[in-house]
Amino acid sequence: MDVEQEYDLFVIGGGSGGLACAKQAAKLGAKVALADFVKPSPLGTKWGLGGTCVNVGCIPKKLMHFAATLGELRHDQVEAGWIDTQVDSKHNWEKMVENVNNHIRKLNFGYKNQLLKEDVKYYNKLAELIDANTIKLTDNKGQIETVRAKTILVAVGGRPSYPDNIPNIQNLVITSDDLFWLQENPGKTLVIGASYVALECGGFLHGIGNEVAIMVRSILLRGFDQEMAEKIGLYMEEKGIRFIKGSVPDMIEATEDNKRKVTWIINGQKQEEIFDTVLVATGRVSDTQKLNLDKVGVKMNKSGKILCSADDKTSVANIYAIGDCVEGRPELTPTAIKCGQLLANRLYNNSTELMSYEFVATTVFTPLEYGCIGYSEEDAIKKFGEDKVTVYHSIFKPLEWNYFEMHSGESCFAKLIVLNDNRRVIGFHYLGPHAGEVTQGYAVAIKMGVTKEQFDSTVGIHPTCSEELVQVTAVKGIDDAQKEGC
Amino acid sequence: MQGQVLQIKSQAEWKSLVLENPKPVIVDFYADWCGPCKVLKPKLHSLHEQSQGKWELAVVNVDIDDLQKISGQYASQGIPAVYLFNKGQQISTFLGNNEAKAKEMALKAATL
């Protein structure tokens, strides 16, 4: 094998983390290369540079969620006085997907340009480690090239996982890898899973007019505050999304007209139903299997996630790993980006700053959105003790919801978890419209150690939903969450 | 040949058909996923048809792998990115679906 190129840093994976680290390292003067290659999904879906977020995650998800919320606003439009709004007009899936896909391709192009501009060599090839300094690159025609690097960064992220109890499942169902590139409306859809992926996708599919059922094994949004998770589920049910609870599919088969017959068991009884599409969103698995990491000595846990120390080092001295493929990291784009940038700073600019995962704000874009920062109620009680925390809660109704009478007055909810001894707000939970926009600013305060009293002394912006957070006085266990009167 | 649009597909074609073209060449960097590109395209075609063979029209699809370096150089600010070349030199450029600038460029090309 003729080895021609040698780099300071070779990044495997052109997603949120990989791209951020590569660009930053190049800015700091390192000679950098990046390899990104998308293995097609079992159904053949593939995409360009940018990783999960850009191509099959955050970006298309948010655009489709937005499309669904626009549909829901038609009723409000009528009551706000607009003439000729058709509340039951149909949705054109193909038009939405074309626009979403075009935007993604524009982002793919932008990332390619950024790498070119920063002088990062981009290989659209599948990388595999030969040893701790040598990478084998295979292109889509099978041609092989070998390069060497002083430091290697593994940032390969993950891919959707499939339940293992159903034969041929990979050819019978779609995942989020396929949903955002589907050229036809998926129709009547069964979503299997209780993750935010399952709820977000089930949510917007219903919002654009599809019949949706969501099959969940036990609880919703494991790891998130469960009071909030239940309210999210309740809101979705009230909207008309059917939840099949306490079940997993027993069998999935293709029918003669290419629909899907799904069988499951509830209370010992067999149930079956025909769906146009089955979307599996039961989890994601680290994409490390074909990298040859074992042979090189990089330690992973049982599910293939790489074991790293706080400074992103693996068990091999010159190999680092960041993002979704690492054990214990939140599967989020902004943390991968920041982690990548800080790693580059440490490698090439003598920085010592490590990534902090404390009080990272996030938002779930379910039909009623949920933004949160810090501890769930359960985690706070578990860590500090029930008598050491106070929970403030409030039910509220957005002013704009008063045009259309069918809006609920009890769905929106806010909660603050406060540590008694220093009055610090350690948990922030907001369920309501524009949750991402509402939550972001509070993350700054919480990272700075804001207290409940500082919250209370802050004047609210009126009329907004966000002001609820600086006015909440009801204590859970003592007061009702609902205000009476204005 | 009047009316024929040059589809640049390789670095070699960029060199021979654009840089080494005896006539002035207006080059349109575009992509299939770009909305404004689709609107500008027929305008450029129509200007070319009216030019009576005084200049050539070339198009570069920025998604073509072999042309990555060239597209990266000329289309890094966005697309549609349109350039007027004469004897290998860049004379002028404009960005976006700008009919007025396209007309101006076509007039300039006819006088070179």
Whole-number mean pLDDT of chain B? 94
Determine the average pLDDT of the residues in A50-75.
Answer: 97
Full residue range of the structural domain in which residue B73 is found: 5-111
What is the distance in angstroms between the Cα of A38 and the nearest Cα belonging to chain B? 16
pTM: 0.94
User: H-type helices in A126-208, by residue range?
Assistant: 169-172, 176-179, 196-207
Model confidence at A2: pLDDT above 70? no
Q: Does A113 sit within 8 Å of B76, measured CB to CB?
A: yes
Q: How sure is the predictor about B77, in pLDDT bands with cuts at 50, 70 and 90?
A: confident
**B72 chain-A contacts, CB cut-off 8 A:** 112-113, 116-117
For chain B, how many structural domains are there in total? 1
Q: Which of A248, A353, A244, A258 is nearest to A24 (CA)?
A: A353
Q: Does A117 sit within 8 Å of B75, measured CB to CB?
A: no
Q: Best of B37, B68, B95 to disrupt the A interface by mutation (most A CBs within 10 Å)? A: B68
Q: Could you give phi then psi for residue B15, rounded to 5 degrees? A: -65, -55
Q: Minimal Cα distance from B76: which residue of A?
A: A113
Q: Does B35 sit within 8 Å of A116, measured CB to CB?
A: no
Whole-number mean pLDDT of chain A? 96
What is the distance in angstroms between the Cα of B102 and the nearest Cα belonging to chain A? 23
User: Distance (Å, rounded) from C-alpha A222 to C-alpha A431?
Assistant: 17
**B32 chain-A contacts, CB cut-off 8 A:** 105
What is the distance in angstroms between the Cα of B83 and the nearest Cα belonging to chain A? 18
**B62 chain-A contacts, CB cut-off 8 A:** 109
Please write the tens of the pLDDT for every residue from A375-399: 999 999 999 999 999 999 999 999 9
Radius of gyration of the CA atoms of chain A, in A: 24
Q: How sure is the predictor about B1, in pLDDT bands with cuts at 50, 70 and 90?
A: very low
ipTM given for this complex? 0.85
Q: Does A113 sit within 8 Å of B75, measured CB to CB?
A: yes
Determine the average pLDDT of the residues in A356-369.
Answer: 97
Q: Which of A433, A372, A373 is nearest to A397 (CA)?
A: A433
Q: Does A113 sit within 8 Å of B34, measured CB to CB?
A: no
**B68 chain-A contacts, CB cut-off 8 A:** 112, 116
Q: Does B72 sit within 8 Å of A116, measured CB to CB?
A: yes
Q: Minimal Cα distance from A124: which residue of B?
A: B65
User: Distance (Å, rounded) from C-alpha A55 to C-alpha A108?
Assistant: 8
Q: How sure is the predictor about A362, in pLDDT bands with cuts at 50, 70 and 90?
A: very high
Q: How sure is the predictor about B39, in pLDDT bands with cuts at 50, 70 and 90?
A: very high
**pLDDT on residue B68:** 87
In the block, tokens 């990989």 appear at A18
Q: Locate A176 and state its tokens.
A: 């989020």
Residues from A in contact with B at Cβ < 8 Å = 101-103, 105-106, 109, 112-113, 116-117, 124
Q: Does B76 sit within 8 Å of A106, measured CB to CB?
A: no
Q: Does A102 sit within 8 Å of B33, measured CB to CB?
A: yes
Least confident of A411-420, B18-27, B67-76: B67-76
Model confidence at A485: pLDDT above 60? no
Known catalytic residues of A are 462
What is the distance in angstroms between the Cα of B88 and the nearest Cα belonging to chain A? 23
What is the distance in angstroms between the Cα of A184 and the nearest Cα belonging to chain B? 18
> In this complex, which of A102, A109, A117 lies closest to B62 when CB atoms are compared?
A109
Grouping H, G, I as helix, E, B as strand and the rest as coil, residue A148 is strand
CATH number at residue B62: 3.40.30.10
Please write the tens of the pLDDT for every residue from A134-191: 999 999 999 999 999 999 999 999 999 999 999 999 999 999 999 999 999 999 999 9
**A124 chain-B contacts, CB cut-off 8 A:** 65
Q: Does B76 sit within 8 Å of A102, measured CB to CB?
A: no
Residue A193: other Cβ atoms inside 10 A: 25
End-to-end CA distance of chain B: 18
The number of helices, as runs of H, and strands, as runs of E, in chain A is: 14, 21
Residues 6 or more apart in contact with residue A371 via CB below 8 angstroms: A361, A362, A363, A364, A428, A429, A430, A435, A436, A438, A439, A440
Radius of gyration of the CA atoms of chain B, in A: 13
User: Distance (Å, rounded) from C-alpha A113 to C-alpha A115?
Assistant: 5
